[in-house]
Amino acid sequence: MIELLKGDITTLEVDAIVNAANTSLLGGGGVDGAIHKAAGPELLMECRQFKGCPTGMAKITQGYRLPAKFVIHTVGPVWRDGKSQEPELLESCYKASLQLALDFKFQSIAFPSISTGAYGFPKEIAAEIAISAVKAHLDKYANPSQVFFVAFDDDNYKLYKQKLHI
Ligand code: ADP
C-alpha cells in the first residue's frame, strides 16, 4: 500500500523514515538537518561509526528522539547532466532502503523525495523513479507493507499525486 503525505517526515510514527543524506553521513541541510535536529545528538554519534556511505547505498540507525523507530540513511546522486548514472543511482537508493526494510521486517517506511532539493535532481524524473522502484518492490515482497511518500513542497506533492493517480 502506497500513501502520499504532505509535510515534515520527522513527525511520522513509522518503523523507518529515510534520510536523504550525504556521503559523510555526518548531517547536512534540508531533510538531513531536520532529521538530526529532531533525533538529537545520539544520531550523529551512531552515524560516525559508518565512516560514510557511497552514493546509491543505505545504512540504518536507531531513531532516538524521533517518533520513527529507525532511520535509513541513503545518499542520493547530485544531478549533473543526466548522463552520469544519476537515474540508476537514485533507483539504487530506493532499492537499498527497501531491502533494509525487508531485512528488518518493517511494516512501514516513509521516503522524502531524495535528491530533489540541494542535489538538483529534476522532480518529475525523480518521482517516476521513486514510484516505480517502490511498486516493483511491493509486487515482490511482503515487507514493508505500507510505504509513505512525503512531499515537503507543493511541486512534489502535485507530481506524486498525479503519478500515483490519487
Ligand atoms: P538532497 O540533497 O538529496 O536533494 P534535500 O534535503 O535538499 O536533499 O532535499 C530532498 C527533499 O526533501 C526535497 O524535496 C525537500 O523539499 C525535502 N525536504 C526538506 N525538508 C524536509 C522534511 N522535514 N520532511 C520531508 N521532506 C523534506
Q: Which residue minimizes the CA distance to atom 19 of ligand 1?
A: 31
pLDDT in tens, 15-45: 999 999 999 999 999 999 999 999 999 999 9
Q: What's the pLDDT at 14?
A: 98
Which of 47, 19, 46 lies closest to 33, judged by CA? 19
Q: How many other C-beta atoms can be found within 10 angstroms of the C-beta atom of residue 4?
A: 15
The domains of the chain are located at 2-164
Ligand 1 pocket test target in 78, 152, 155 with most atoms within 8 Å of CB? 152
Cell 511482503, residue?
A: 142
Query: What is the per-residue pLDDT for 151?
Result: 98
pLDDT number for residue 87: 98
Residue numbers of the chain with a pLDDT score lower than 50? none
Give start and end residues of each alpha helix (H) in 40-150: 41-48, 86-103, 123-140
Predicted model pTM: 0.99
CATH T-level fold of 2-164: Leucine Aminopeptidase, subunit E; domain 1 (3.40.220)
Residue 145: its pLDDT value, please? 98
Q: How much is the pLDDT for 74?
A: 99
Q: Report pLDDT for 95.
A: 98
At 27, which amino acid appears? G
Amino acid at 115: S
Q: State the closest ligand 1 atom to the C-alpha of 32, by its place in the atom list counted from 1.
A: 6
